[in-house]
Structure 1
């Protein structure tokens, strides 16, 4: 995230912050086109150490594949910070991804998003999202959530 600390106006701040929730819901509800539409035309999703997923078709395919591999995924995004950066914005947030498959809840990953946003004719969009995991995959065991 850039060190520019220019504060966005209230409406821009809300719209950029709202992208975090809209992106999580589109991914978790397996709406690939809605997810891809939240990115700029050349937008990219990057995971530390992996090739970036770039462009609408690839971003939509990412969601399709995830929905097949891990149904019941829920992203919990918190501690969102957004700042203006010249003509755009940057943001950072913590993210926890869970797989809810009663009676178990499994931690998929926990980490941080670092984002670059651009204002487009369709509103604010994600130009680049980089996810940095804090734990290795599978580091946490499933937890029984049946109450018993």
Structure 2
């Protein structure tokens, strides 16, 4: 490969790995796989979130206390840009974060938020990791009182009965369900 081809390939691979990291964060939150979440940060990682500001080693326990109050979440990544400079990068990812819980008329538990994740990332021996993240809230709207009862379809679950874990276990040939994220 010529130098420019190698540079282009490195450029593409870095961006795809960073995009996967952002998506892995969303999956870890939505499936309450908080051990996997911790692995996405550097050991000295920091998170600035609504209601939390500090080291990731305190962020994960904070989430363990918060997540049992929610029936579910869904984080959907939209626009994503990454600027790589050697072994450091800055990524900006727009997301829509949906939260729901019982009682479904509580606006503190039932809302949709538009956020931007602004990440300072570093390349480590195990891949790209989040050194520092800012979850910047752009907007929020309550869904309180909108209800959740739908009939038909496959019901989502944060537990081992979710179809994701059975499929991953079959493809991997080993159990895939993570250790419980909520205690």
Structure 1 unaligned spans of 5+: 1-6
Check whether the contact 1:46–1:53 (CA below 8 A) recurs between aligned residues. Answer: yes
CA gap 1:63/1:9 in 2 versus in 1, 3 angstroms:
same
Please identify which structure carries the higher helix content.
Answer: 2
Please identify which structure carries the higher strand content.
Answer: 1
Check whether the contact 1:40–1:125 (CA below 8 A) recurs between aligned residues. Answer: yes
Structure 2 unaligned spans of 5+: 1-7, 105-109, 152-183
Structure of higher CA gyration radius: 2
> TM-score scaled to structure 2, two decimals?
0.64
How far did residue 73 of structure 1 move? 1.0
RCO higher in structure (CA 8 A, sep ≥6): 1
The reply on whether 1:47 has 2:49 as its aligned counterpart is: yes
What does residue 116 of structure 2 align with?
Answer: 112
Check whether the contact 2:70–2:101 (CA below 8 A) recurs between aligned residues. Answer: no
What does residue 3 of structure 1 align with?
Answer: none
Of 23, 28, 31, the match for 1:21: 23
State the number of aligned residues. Answer: 137
Whole-Å separation in 1 of the counterparts to 2:149 and 2:52: 38
Q: What root-mean-square deviation, in Å, do the aligned CA atoms of Structure 1 and Structure 2 show?
A: 2.7
